[in-house]
Amino acid sequence: MKHILDTPVEYLKGVGPARAEILRKEVNISTFGDLLLYYPFRYVDRSRFFTIAEIDSDAAWIQLKGRVTGQQLFGKGHGARIVYTFKDGSGETELVWFQGLKWVREKVVVGKEYVIFGKPNLFNGKYNFTHPDIESAEEAQADQNEPLQPYYSTTEKMKSRGFTPKGIMRVMRTLISQVHKSIPETLSPAVLQLAHLMPRAEALVKIHFPDSPANLAKAQERIKFDELFFIQLQLLRLKYVRLDKVKGKVFSNIGQYLNSFYHRNLPFELTAAQKRVVREIRVDVGSGKQMNRLLQGDVGSGKTLVALMAMLIALDNQCQACLMAPTEILANQHYKTISRFLSGLPVEVALLTGSTKKAVRNDLHTKLQSGKLQILIGTHALIEDQVKFHNLGLVVIDEQHRFGVAQRARLWEKSETPPHVLVMTATPIPRTLAMTLYGDLDVSVIDELPPGRKPVKTYHFYEKDRLKVFRFMKEQIAQGRQIYVVYPLINESDKLELQDLMDGLDTVSRYFPVPEYQISIVHGQLKAAEKESEMKRFLEKQTQIMVATTVIEVGVDVPNASVMVIENSERFGLSQLHQLRGRVGRGADQSHCILMSSYKLTSDGRKRLETMVRTTDGFEIAEVDLHLRGPGDLQGTQQSGLVGLKLASLVKDEKLLKIAREFAHRTLTDDPRLEKPENQPMVVYLQRSEFDWGKIS
């Protein structure tokens, strides 16, 4: 039987098919249940009327009652605006509309009495109201005027069909009177009681129509809890099922491969953090369960080495390993690094990318199937259908958020007992987000840089300092250093941005002329081979300066490059700036990062640059990023349940998130398969849930 909350919204009294269509198109509401979850975005005090004479600041939203006494239309078409004079006996103000003039003119009649609600603006020494809510005095009378009236966001289209904030409130009242007895509880009695939560039905009524500030807070807490709890419950459940059902290959040997690498080839001492993580990995792969581990570590913290050691453990247990990188350049670099690390050891390593020749490719396939080839490094060419491993034991994925979840899943299908998976990311993720995005993975953190690294010194300069910057670059080059000059290129086909780069290249070439100076140039519109050869020239010190777009963002390792100049730095996001800066500071020399910006900075832009100058700690930067942008824009969130968060915030509700996770944990420890009768409401909710859980796992 269908639940009442699944009823199409057109059947709600006062809505009907045409207005239902508006709701669907404008705010994606199709059913009673959807509408119920359309929460107010603020609460307003409609119990009090102000007078025009009382207005003395533009701080608050206020309500006035008065008469419209005049109307004037200015301009035409898109630039048109309509201005009404509004008087209440104490004074006179103006009501202004720029949009939706058609319905405003139908609604507002000169001479009639109205109630308006809005925020006064100070304009030319007088207060006016732009786009206030407006109702005839009789209409306004029909509602109780509460101190905590819900206020819903709306659009001009919705307003023109009566879905003003108040109009929505009326529809909501009708809805709630019809459904309040049928709103199912979603939590078990135990969780409800132990977490001291308001019942869901009560919370959904009071979030729309609160009877006191205290109850409103309780209602909000309950709804946020649900949002966070069910993400955690689902993630942890996937994890338990996996641990329970999916067997992992047992790597019990530490043998010849790892030992001889460790004793003969390792050129330096591991950091304490690297040792700890290798230990964590060893425990995982020896446990008989499949490892799914996220390895977080700032740029330059030595993740590649840890990955290599994990791969050697696989080899010691007669398994193969592969490492997947997001770009060809990176795959190449990994291949070289790893071959160098392994030189002299009897390990077969190969590289497979989109540009691997067919003959070589066929040969690789044969060697992989026979097991002769032990470590395969490459791009997503690795997961093509023809690639069959003899016995794949470990998959390492570098910079994972560039890989789709589906691509990851295909790797799993490659052997009967799934390989262990190690996901490496250099984009630090704030804890709350990590808990939510990767809640089903175990997390290791390398929180220490190899010794002797000097933190990169960072400066913010404007165009007027250009010559100073160039002089500094010359000094550094004279000392044998190399330099990156980076331009933003967010959209590879954007001609303007490419023009910026070309103009920049011009300036740089004039100040750094051949033959004394050589310049590499790399951007997204070059062919792979051209890019490769430009990079190579830089890597081999044939060029001192590399002018590039953000294609160098990820993973390139040129320890002698110790200066990075980032042009138009205000146009980069924080995590991107941090990634870029990670390209320098990889050698023993003091490195420098120069952020060039225009004079015009938004407050967020300024905050980003200040943060970069202040700190090199990736986790701190990630926290600032989360605060500035909110989680919606952070990488990876699109494929998570986060889009389902309506009230809860990963910035403000960290405490509640921890509590929710703890309760999800307890629930599953007690009833791993959620079979107990008291947990059925949760199961039902998960099944009904609007989130597309498939995308998270």
Question: Least CB distance from residue 524 to ligand ADP, whole Å?
Answer: 22
Judged by CB under 5 A, the stretch of 306-314, 555-563, 577-585, 651-659 that binds Mg ion is 555-563
Is the CB of 340 or the CB of 646 nearer to ligand ADP? 340
Q: Which is nearer to ligand ADP, 346 or 452 (CB)?
A: 452
Helix locations, 108-164, DSSP H: 137-141, 156-160
Q: Please name the residues in contact with 672: beta carbons below 8 A apart, sequence gap of 6 or more.
A: 240, 244
Q: Name the one range near ligand ADP by CB under 6 A: 268-276, 470-478, 515-523, 661-669.
A: 268-276
Find all residues with CB under 8 Å of 267, minimum gap 6, and list them: none
**Strands 561-566 and 545-548, bridge-based pairing:** unpaired
- Which stretch in 16-24, 30-38, 299-307, 657-665 sits in contact with ligand ADP by CB under 6 A? 299-307
Please report how close the Cβ of residue 403 comes to Mg ion at its closest, in angstroms.
Answer: 15
Output 21 or 448, the one with its CB closest to ligand ADP. Answer: 448
* Residue with smaller CB distance to ligand ADP, 204 or 441: 441
Work out which of 16, 268, 471, 673 binds ligand ADP, going by CB under 6 A. Answer: 268
Query: Taking the complex as a whole, how short is the minimal distance between the CB of residue 565 and ligand ADP, in angstroms?
Result: 21
Interface characters, 500-539, with Mg ion (x: CB under 5 A): ----------------------------------------
Query: Which residues within the stretch 311-330 sit at the binding site for ligand ADP (CB under 6 A)?
Result: none
Distance in angstroms (rounded) separating the CA atoms of residues 691 and 652: 22
Q: How far is the CB of 267 from ligand ADP (least distance, A)?
A: 8
Q: Which residues inside 524-563 make contact with ligand ADP, applying CB under 6 A?
A: 557
Query: Which of 312/648 has CB closer to Mg ion?
Result: 312
State whether residue 213 is helix, strand or coil. helix
Contact region with ligand ADP (CB under 6 A), list: 81-89, 131-139, 144-152, 267-275: 267-275
CB of 426 to ligand ADP, least distance (A): 5
**Is the CA virtual torsion 12, 18, 20, 22 positive or negative?**
negative
Paired tokens of 646? 């309506």
Position 303 contacts ligand ADP (CB under 6 A): yes
CB contact set of 641 (below 8 Å; sequence gap of 6+): 230, 231, 234, 436, 691, 693, 696
For 693, half-sphere exposure in the C-beta direction (CA atoms, 13 angstrom radius) is: 16
Closest to ligand ADP by CB, 180 or 340: 340
| Inter-residue contact 395 to 324 (CB < 8 Å) | yes
Nearest distance from residue 196's CB to Mg ion, in Å? 45
Exactly one of 586, 592, 608, 661 binds ligand ADP (CB under 6 A); which one? 586
Residue identified by tokens 């641990």 is 243
Rounded Cα distance between 304 and 284, Å, is: 18
Can residue 188 be called a binding residue for ligand ADP (CB under 6 A)? no
Residue 586 interacting partner from ligand ADP, Mg ion, none (CB closer than 5 to 8 Å by kind): ligand ADP
| Closer of 326 and 555 to Mg ion (Cβ) | 555
How far apart are alpha carbons 563 and 475 in whole angstroms?
A: 11
Report which residue's Cβ sits closest to ligand ADP.
302
Under DSSP, the state recorded for 247 is B
Stretch that binds ligand ADP, among 180-188, 294-302, 431-439, 507-515 (CB under 6 A): 294-302
How far apart are CB 546 and Mg ion at their closest, in Å? 19
Residue 173: what residue type?
A: R
If we measure between CA atoms, which residue out of 460, 457, 437, 429 comes closest to residue 572? 460
Which residue number, 64 or 558, has a Cβ lying nearer to ligand ADP? 558
In the bound complex, what is the minimum distance in angstroms from residue 297's beta carbon to ligand ADP? 5
Size of the chain, expressed as the number of residues it contains: 697
Residue 308, amino acid: L
By beta-carbon distance, which residue lies closest to Mg ion?
A: 555
333: amino acid identity, one letter: Q
* In 186-271, alpha helices (H): 189-194, 200-208, 213-245, 256-260
**Residues near ligand ADP (CB under 6 A), total:** 16
- Sign of the dihedral defined by the CA atoms of residues 439, 444, 448, 453, in that order: negative
Among 371, 450, 524, 644, interactor with ligand ADP by CB under 6 A: 450
Site residue total, Mg ion (CB under 5 A)? 1
Least distance (Å) between residue 433 CB and Mg ion: 21
| Mutual angle of helices 328-341 and 528-539, in 10-degree steps | 40
Q: Is residue 373 close enough to count as binding ligand ADP by CB under 6 A?
A: no
Can you tell me which of 299, 325, 350, 593 binds ligand ADP, judged by CB under 6 A? 299
Q: Is 274 in the site for ligand ADP (CB under 6 A)?
A: yes
| Binder of residue 631, out of ligand ADP, Mg ion, none (CB less than 5 to 8 A by kind) | none
The single residue among 12, 22, 305, 593 that binds ligand ADP, judged by CB under 6 A, is 305
Nearest to 624, CA basis, from 602, 609, 639, 642: 609
Which one of 36-44, 102-110, 298-306, 429-437 is the stretch in contact with ligand ADP (CB under 6 A)? 298-306
Name residue 593's amino acid.
C
Q: Which stretch binds ligand ADP (CB under 6 A): 84-92, 269-277, 436-444, 459-467?
A: 269-277
Minimum Å gap between C-beta 152 and Mg ion is 47
Closer of 38 and 438 to ligand ADP (Cβ):
438
Could you tell me the CA-to-CA distances from 9 to 16, 28, 223, 640 in Å, in that order? 8, 11, 22, 28
Q: Using a CB cutoff of 8 Å and minimum separation of 24, what contacts does 58-64 make?
A: 58/119, 58/120, 58/121, 58/122, 58/127, 60/119, 61/117, 61/118, 61/119, 62/117, 62/118, 62/119, 62/120, 63/115, 63/116, 63/117, 64/88, 64/93, 64/115, 64/116, 64/117
Instruction: Please report how close the Cβ of residue 335 comes to Mg ion at its closest, in angstroms.
Output: 13
**CA neighbor of 85 nearest in space, from 125, 49, 61, 116:** 116
Name the one residue in this structure whose structure tokens are 């792969």. Answer: 285
Q: Which residues bind ligand ADP (CB under 6 A)?
A: 268, 270-271, 274, 297, 299-305, 426, 450, 557, 586
Q: Which residues bind Mg ion (CB under 5 A)?
A: 555
